[in-house]
Amino acid sequence: MQYHLNGFKPGDLQVSEAVRGLGDPVQPPGLPNEVDVLIVGCGPAGLTLARQLSEFAGITTCVVDLKSGPMLFGQADGISCRTIEIMEAFNCSETVVKEAYWLNQNAFWEPDVARPEYIRRAHKIPDARLGLSEFTHSVVNQARIHDLLLAGMKNAPARSVPVYNRRLVAVQFDRDHSQDLDLHVVTASFERVGADPGETVGVAQAKPAVETVRARFIVGCDGARSTVRRSLDIALHGDSASKAWGVMDALVVTDFPDIRVKTFVQSSDHGAVMIVPREGGYLVRLYVELELLDADQRVASLDIEAADIIVAAQRILHPYTLDVKEVAWWSKYEVGQRVAERFDDTPLDNPHGLLSRAFLAGDACHTHSPKAGQGLNVSLHDAFNLGWKLASVLEGKAEPALLNTYSAERRAVALELIALDKTMSDLVATQPRAHKEATPDAVSTDTGDIEHYIATQNGFIAGTTIEYGPSIIRASGEHQHLARGFQIGRRFHSAEATRIADGRHQHLGHLIKADGRWRIFVFGDEHGPTNHSSDTHQLAQFVATDASSPVIRYTAPGADVDSVIDLYGVFQQRDLAIEDLPDFWWPAKGKYGLRDYEKAFHTTEAYDIFNERGIDEAGCIVVVRPDQHVAAVLPLSAHAELASVFDAFMMEQPHDPALIATRT
Ligand SMILES: Cc1cc2nc3c(=O)[nH]c(=O)nc-3n(C[C@H](O)[C@H](O)[C@H](O)COP(=O)(O)OP(=O)(O)OC[C@H]3O[C@@H](n4cnc5c(N)ncnc54)[C@H](O)[C@@H]3O)c2cc1C
319 preceded by a cis bond (ω within 30 of 0): yes
Secondary structure E strands in 407-495:
431-432, 444-445
**Atom number in ligand 1 closest to CA 285:** 8
For range 646-655, the mean pLDDT: 87
Cα 223 to middle of ligand 1, angstroms? 5
Q: What is the number of the ligand 1 atom nearest to the C-alpha of 367?
A: 19
| pLDDT surpassing 60 at residue 658 | no
SS3 at position 535: helix
Question: What is the DSSP-derived secondary structure letter of residue 351?
Answer: T
**CB 373 less than 6 A from any atom of ligand 1:** yes
pLDDT at 545: 95
Cβ–ligand 1 contact at 45 (below 6 Å): yes
Best probe residue, ligand 1, of 363, 369, 421 (max atoms within 8 Å of C-beta): 363
- The DSSP bridge pattern shows strands 496-499 and 600-602 to be antiparallel
Ligand 1 centroid to 63 CA: how many Å? 15
Residues 6+ apart with CB under 8 A from 274: 262, 263, 264, 265, 286, 287, 371
* 3-state SS assignment for residue 658: helix
Can you give 261-286 as a three-state secondary structure string?
CEEEEECCCCCEEEEEECCCCCEEEE
Q: How far is Cα 138 from Cα 473, in angstroms, rounded to an integer?
A: 31
- Looking at the domain that runs over 480-663, which CATH code has it been given? 3.40.30.20
Residues 320, 324, 327, 333, CA torsion sign: positive
In this structure, the number of other CB atoms found within 10 A of the CB of residue 73 comes to: 12
pLDDT category, 446, cuts 50, 70, 90? low
- Residues facing 639 on adjacent strands: none
Q: For atom 2 of ligand 1, which residue has the closest CA?
A: 75
- Judge: domain 34-92+141-235+341-407, CATH 1.10.10.60: no
Pairwise pLDDT comparison (480 vs 74), residue with the higher score? 480
CA 225 / ligand 1 centre spacing (Å): 9
In angstroms, the first-to-last Cα distance of the chain is: 25
- Hey, whose CA ends up nearest to atom 36 of ligand 1? 222
| Interval between CA 333 and ligand 1 midpoint (Å) | 11
Residue nearest to atom 53 of ligand 1 (CA): 75
Indicate if ligand 1 lies below 6 Å from the C-beta of 44: yes
Distance 43 CA to ligand 1 centre (A): 6
For 544, the enclosing helix (H) or strand (E) is: helix 535-545
Ligand 1, atom 15: nearest CA belongs to which residue? 375
Residue 220 Cβ < 6 Å to ligand 1: no
Cα dihedral 131/95/516/478 (nearest 10): 0
| Burial of residue 155, with CB atoms counted within 10 A of its CB: 0-12 exposed, 13-18 middle, 19 or more buried | buried
pLDDT, mean over the chain: 91
Q: Which whole number is the average pLDDT over 138-149?
A: 96
Angstrom distance (rounded) from CA 379 to CA 365: 9
Best mutation site among 211, 376, 421 for ligand 1, i.e. most ligand atoms within 8 A of its Cβ?
Answer: 376
Asked whether 86 and 381 are in contact (CB, 8 A), the reply is yes
Closest ligand 1 atom number to CA of residue 287 = 8
Q: For residues 193-204, give the mean pLDDT.
A: 83
Per-residue pLDDT, 615: 98
Rounded to the nearest angstrom, the distance between the alpha carbon of 299 and the centre of ligand 1 is 15
On the question of pLDDT at 291 being above 80, the answer is no
CB 284 within 8 A of CB 302: no
- Report the pLDDT value the prediction gives residue 662, as an integer from 0 to 100: 46
Order of all β-strands in the sheet with 138-139: 78-79, 138-139, 101-102
pLDDT in tens, 233-269: 999 998 765 667 789 999 999 999 999 999 999 899 8
Which among 119, 220, 122, 129 is positioned nearest to 168, based on CA atoms?
220
CA of 624 from ligand 1 middle (Å) equals 31
Are 109 and 265 a contacting pair, CB within 8 Å? yes
pLDDT of residue 620: 98
Residue with more model confidence, 252 or 369: 252
In contact, 190 and 212? CB cutoff 8 Å: yes
Name the CATH architecture for the domain at 99-139+236-338. Answer: 2-Layer Sandwich (3.30)
Q: Is 363 in the pocket of ligand 1 (CB under 6 A)?
A: yes
- Nearest-atom number in ligand 1 for the CA of 227 is 41
265 lines ligand 1 (CB under 6 A): no
- Of 113-122, 436-445, 514-523, where does mean pLDDT reach its minimum? 436-445
Tell me the CB-side half-sphere exposure of residue 194, using CA atoms within 13 A.
14
Parse the chain into domains and list their residue ranges.
34-92+141-235+341-407, 99-139+236-338, 480-663
What confidence score (pLDDT) does residue 659 get?
Answer: 45
Summarised one tens digit per residue, pLDDT across range 463-488 is 999 999 999 999 999 999 999 999 99
Residue of the nearest CA to atom 3 in ligand 1?
75
Question: pLDDT band at residue 663, thresholds of 50, 70 and 90?
Answer: very low
> Torsion-angle region of residue 159: left (phi > 0), alpha (psi -120 to 50) or beta?
left
Flag whether pLDDT at 334 surpasses 80.
Answer: no
Q: How far from 59 is each of 158, 160, 444, 516, CA to CA, in Å?
A: 8, 11, 55, 13
pLDDT of res. 444:
54
What local confidence, expressed as pLDDT, does residue 664 receive? 38
The response to whether residue 362 sits with its C-beta less than 6 Å from ligand 1 reads yes
Which of 480, 535, 526, 498 shows the shortest CA–CA distance to 609?
Answer: 498
C-alpha distances in Å from residue 157, one per residue of 41, 55, 625: 21, 5, 21
- Secondary structure tally for the chain: helices H, strands E: 16, 28
The predicted-structure confidence for 395-433, as pLDDT tens digits, reads as follows: 999 999 999 999 999 999 999 999 888 887 777 665 555
- The one-letter amino acid code at 346 reads T
- % of residues, the chain, pLDDT over 90: 75
Spatial distance between the Cα atoms of 234 and 343, rounded to a whole number of angstroms: 8
Q: Residue of the nearest CA to atom 35 in ligand 1?
A: 41
pLDDT of residue 241: 52
Q: Whose CA is nearest to atom 31 of ligand 1?
A: 43
Q: CB of 379 closer than 6 A to ligand 1? A: yes
- Closest alpha carbon to 566 in 546, 593, 591, 589: 589
pLDDT digits (tens, 9 = 90+) for 7-57: 999 999 999 998 998 888 777 778 999 999 999 999 999 999 999 999 999
